[in-house]
Amino acid sequence: MEFKTFVFYFLSAILVFAALRVITARNPVHAALFLVLAFFNAGGIWLLLHAEFLAITLVMVYVGAVMVLFLFVVMMLDINLERLRQGFWSYLPVGALIGILLVIEMAMVLGGRYFGLDAMPVPPEPMAGFSNTRELGRVLYTDYVYPFELASLVLLVAMVAAVSLTLRKRKNTKYIDPSLQVSVKREGRVELVKMQAEKED
Amino acid sequence: MNFVVPDFYPAAAEIFVAVMALVIMLSTTFARSIARSLGYFLCQFTLIAAAFITIGTMHGEVSYTFSNMFISDLMGDFLKVMIYFSMAIALLYGRSYLADRNINKPEYYLLAILMTLGMMVMVTSNHMLTMYIGLEMMSLALYALVAFDRDSARSTEAGMKYFVLGALASGLLLYGMSMVYGATGTLEFSGVAQSVYNQAANKPVLLFGLVFLIAGICFKLGVVPFHMWVPDVYQGASTAVTLILATAPKLAAFAMAVRLLIWGLFDIAEQWQTMLMLVAVASIILGNLAAISQPNIKRMLAYSGISHMGFMLLGLLSGVVEGDRHFALNAYSSAMFYAVAYVIMSLASFGMIILLSRAGFEAERIDDFKGLNKRSPWFAAVMMFVMFSMAGVPFFIGFFAKLSVLQAVVAAGYFWIAAVAVVMSVIGAFYYLRVVKVMYFDEPVDTAPIHAPAELRVLLSANGIAIAALGLAPQALMSICAYALLASL
Amino acid sequence: MEAMLQPVADLFGPTWPAVWTLLKIVAIIAPLLGCVAYLTLAERKVIGYMQVRIGPNRVGPFGLLQPVADGVKLLLKEIIVPSGANKGLFILGPILAIAPSLAAWSVVPFGDGMVLANVNAGLLFLLAITSMEVYGVIVAGWASNSKYPFLGSMRAAAQMVSYEVSMGFALICVLLISASLNLTDIVTTQGSGRFHDMGLSFLSWNWLPLFPMFVVYVISGIAETNRAPFDVVEGEAEVVAGHMVEYSGMAFALFFLAEYANMILVSILTSILFLGGWLSPVGFLPDGFIWLALKTACILFLFLWARATFPRFRYDHIMRLGWKVFIPVTLVWVVVVAVWMISPLSIWK
């Protein structure tokens, strides 16, 4: 076995295991951390495909930012697992039946026949000096500039939606305006009073 | 690097709306004191100006830009104009309603304009990527709008339901797109069509993807079996939002179906027609039967919307019969006519609910319409027009819409579907006529005078008259639909 | 070098590349840990002199053996796992803290060609790795099952994610003008330009045209490493020691090591990205590692100086600075630099 193949199987095994643990872990924090592990291994597999930009961005965006905030929320939630598990066994037969059906159907269609090595030729090895980042940048800002700009507007929609649904101005909040704090002068705080010395006699 | 600056001219309207969305955002942020009406007026200005730009840049030929990701054709232009029109009316109807409930915020209008942009992108996309992005832009804005009345538990719950199910549907759609990509090696609709035509595509994978595409489209149209969200969301969202939800997005979803199925996968029409057949018949049956027992008029209209979308699909599924494509144009233009007619009727029906609502009172039970004739004979007449039209009573627009799709179905030889559809519309007439009955023959429960701004009254009246007038002379609209499709196909 | 190592390579046979890489890793990590140890001493000395004290002076001459004594003490202490803690994650926390701060060094160049892994996307790699440092803090804080650590980890999550954004924008400016994500290339592109030809190469380094970004980067670096005055994560007056409350012995030492290793990392990165790395500041002196070390030491001194000078920021001020000051400033500067680059006034052509 080639070294690369070994690395691929190694990463894939961890990826599959981590992904399984995401849905089977009882503790939501553990599940979230396993998701982090899964992202990490997926990034590794992408690296094997010479997609270093995507791989590193995956780690940076999902592991470095999204999952941190996700953990933030999950840790603060007090999820009652018992209630979540209610009705699990009564739904299981139907769910399992549909799941198995789907798996069989997908296996029939997606089995090695159509997406195997014969159907999908191996892409040529990139030339020396090939930079995944440069190539992605090139197509992103030329051929795909329209969807790229639209995607930025989708993010804008998400921001506007999130802010408009959550921002509340509370009346009794004790907000301090930092610019006022900074511009405080001595005269505003201390008053020096000149007064005669008083003698006790 | 051979990069050619793309031709921006065909996309002038999209660019204008995108820029205006940013203008609205910034101006309402920095002019907080007048932001409410500023947002509204800028939004209306944008819609009207965009309509002029779209009509101004319209020309009969099909043109592509942005490396073939953007298609500009008459069908797209026509649907875009209809979308501006219905959004403008929906915002106008909803304005006083929102003000009464103190949710008349500038963000509402910002989200509405971004949603319009999303729909425009969907309508003009020639690429699965832009289609998906447009869909997400529209849906994200809609999720937020549904939950916009954030102090109302029902509205938040509706928003959550819509969001979770909508995300699932987006996932299905995306999965279907990736399968189609795997089978054909391209995401561009014309490329997909080419690959399917040349038999180069991998058929089983293509069909597998098709199933998921259909599921995604059906969710956005709100038809059986992906209809579960429709009644809850229609009922839970504030009526002004329901009004938006029930109108323009249907046109965008229609465009999505047409672009994906007819532009992209026309050569496997037989397969998707069979799937749509099941979906359409189930929707017509379930929508009409379930609407009968609804005491809540928003819920009733939601179920009636399910059946209407089923009818619309009847047009799409009777295009190709045993490889014969003669009926295609007729069938698809009947579906488009149906979608437009439904939007016009839907605007008026939810507009009536808004008219009867006021601060602290929602006219959402059918009982609230009792004795409307005694309170306002004119608006009772408008509501009667709407209900008759939806029921398919002759010489209203709804009748011709139903007639044209049924003609298409019969021409395609699906007599049993036509029979089911007719029987079900007769059953459906029952609940529409019940509303008419309570308006004219029952004593009013709610006797407060109808209190609504003048523009709402005028436009709603015009809307009611339009339903009747288009019913008397449907030819113009029908031929516009047919011509737009003919020039685009 | 290659020829000299050939006999050794033959000895190890096919495992030689792995052994050689391991040796190089050791050659980076061992001095690094030494630096960390003496950075702690330097910190106490510097702050001591700034506060007109002497600082540690009992162990060894001038207190030079103090870090050794501290290390031995921490090694011998027991690691106590609180009974309510989540044991696995409690142990994992310090490991997650130290691992990225060491892994990041793999792409740091110490001289022309002196780098463990000369990857194309080195800058991105660094961003990704440094963004993972927060996990150690969060996991430790949560797994301790105690209130102060949890509060500390919540603060850490918000603070580090916020400052990563402005840091990222500052780096975008750097990569815009050097047109490369490779750290060696970034240094070499700084060694050209009009001032360089005049023999004043320190004026052609990135810090001058990108001055606002340089300032933002250094300050964000301090915030990212949770150092004073941004150390609300462990602010002892409020949350005692934040995520480290429940840790003792070597587990605590790992957090400590990670913090100082990160400080050195941020300093060396600032030198590489903005201060010309190993390039000499004037034309008549040769380039070399010594310059990099000197520049790094200066930035490190800045860290210590800031700690001795400023009072701790209040938490909402930190958030405000990050989101309302740095992000808009960096965003605008990205646009400014981009326009500058395509305008005829560009100095990078």
C287-332 pLDDT tens trace: 778 888 888 999 999 999 988 888 888 888 888 888 888 999 999 9
User: Residue C236 pLDDT > 80, yes or no?
Assistant: no
What is the bridge-based pairing of β-strands B63-65 and B70-72?
antiparallel
- Given a cut of 60, is residue C135 above it in pLDDT? yes
Gap from A154 CA to chain B (nearest CA, Å): 5
Q: What percentage of chain B has pLDDT greater than the value 70?
A: 100
B 129-148: CB under 8 A from A: 129-130, 133-134, 136-137, 140-141, 143-144, 147-148
Chain A hits for C128, CB-CB cut-off 8 Å, are: 56-57, 59-60, 63-64
**Cα B74 from Cα B488, distance rounded (Å):** 6
Kindly report, residue by residue over B195-218, the tens digit of the pLDDT. Answer: 888 887 778 888 888 999 999 999
The structure's pTM equals 0.88
| B204 near A CB under 8 A | yes
Residues in C touching A75 (Cβ below 8 Å): 138, 142, 150, 153-154
State percent of chain C over pLDDT 90: 5
Query: B144 and A161 in contact by Cβ < 8 A?
Result: yes
Residues in chain A: 201
CB contact under 8 A, A56 and C158: no
Q: What is the pLDDT of residues B172-185, one digit of tens each?
A: 999 999 989 988 88
Reading the block at residue B67, the tokens are 């490396």
Which chain A residues touch C320 with a CB distance below 8 Å?
Answer: 178
> Which residues in chain A touch residue B186, judged by CB atoms under 8 angstroms apart?
none
Would you state the pLDDT for residue B254? 93
Q: Does residue C9 carry a pLDDT above 80? A: no
Instruction: Name chain A contacts of C86, Cβ cutoff 8 Å.
Output: 27, 29
Mind listing the pLDDT tens digit for each residue in B362-379?
Answer: 888 888 888 888 888 898
Whether B333 shows a pLDDT value over 70: the answer reads yes
Cβ contact (<8 Å) for A109 and B25?
Answer: no
Contact B205 A164 (CB under 8 A): no
Q: With contacts defined as CB-CB under 8 Å, which chain C residues touch A36?
A: 135
- Separation in Å, CA of A65 to nearest CA in chain C: 6
Residue-wise burial string across C182-201, b where 16 or more C-beta atoms lie within 10 A, e elsewhere: bbbbbbbbbbebebbeeeeb
**Hey, is the C-beta of A42 within 8 angstroms of any chain C C-beta?**
no
CA distance C53 to chain A (A): 31
Q: Write out the two tokens for C95.
A: 């490991």
B297, B265, B467, B456: which is closest to B384 by C-alpha? B467
pLDDT of residue A81: 67
Test mutation, A108, A138, A153, chain B, max B CBs within 10 A: A153
pLDDT at residue A119 is higher than 70 = no
pLDDT above 70: residue B1:
no
**How many angstroms away from the CA of A95 is the closest CA of chain C?**
33
- Measuring CA to CA, how many Å separate C219 from each of B419, C62, C102? 74, 32, 22
pLDDT tens for each residue of B133-170:
999 999 999 999 999 888 888 889 999 999 999 999 99
Interface contact B25-A160, CB threshold 8 A: yes
Which among C121, C134, C161 has CB closest to A53? Answer: C121
Q: What angle do CA B132, B134, B139 make, to 5 degrees?
A: 90
Distance separating alpha carbons of residues B259 and B261, to the nearest angstrom: 6
Look at B105 and A165 and tell me if their CB atoms are within 8 Å. Answer: no
Token representation of residue A45: 């597999």
Residue contact A63–C131, C-beta within 8 A: yes
ipTM given for this complex: 0.90
Is B303 part of the contact surface with chain A (CB cutoff 8 Å)? no
User: With an 8 Å Cβ cutoff, are A69 and C161 in contact?
Assistant: yes
Mutate to test the interface with A, among B24, B98, B129, B187 (most CBs of A within 10 A): B129
Question: Residue B8, SS3?
Answer: coil
pLDDT tens profile C85-103: 888 888 888 888 888 888 8
Interchain contact, A71 vs C138, CB within 8 Å: yes
| Helix or strand holding residue B63 (H, E) | strand B63-65
**B148·A164 Cβ contact <8 A:** yes
Q: Does A135 touch chain C (CB under 8 A)?
A: no
Of A29, A56, A71, the CB nearest to C124: A56
Instruction: Kindly state the average pLDDT of the residues A40-59.
Output: 86
Comparing alpha-carbon positions, the chain B residue that sits nearest to A168 is: B150
Chain B closest-CA separation from residue A20 CA (Å) = 20
Measured CA distances, A70 to A29, A74, A83, B35 (Å):
9, 6, 22, 34
C296, C262 in Cβ contact below 8 A? no
DSSP line for C102-167: HHGGGG--SSTT--S---TTHHHHHHHHHHTHHHHHHHHHHHTTSHHHHHHHHHHHHHHHHHHHHH
Q: B42 pLDDT band (50/70/90 cuts)? A: very high
Chain C hits for A29, CB-CB cut-off 8 Å, are 86, 89, 142
Query: Do C157 and A52 lie within an 8 Å CB cutoff?
Result: no
Closest chain A residue to the Cα of C125, Cα to Cα: A56
Q: Given a cut of 70, is residue A114 above it in pLDDT?
A: no
pLDDT grade for C5, boundaries at 50, 70 and 90: confident
Integer Cα distance of A145 and C111 in angstroms: 38
Q: Does A51 touch chain C (CB under 8 A)?
A: no
Q: How far is C344 from chain A (nearest CA, A)?
A: 22
Whether A79 contacts chain C with CB within 8 A? no
Give the contacts of A160 (CB within 8 A, at least 6 positions apart).
B25, B107, B110, B111, B114, B144
Shortest Cα distance from C240 to chain A (angstroms)? 20
Task: Check CB contact of B205 with chain A, cutoff 8 Å.
Answer: yes
Is B395 in a helix, a strand, or coil? coil
**Could you give the angle at the alpha carbon of B344 between the alpha carbons of B343 and B346, nearest 5°?**
60
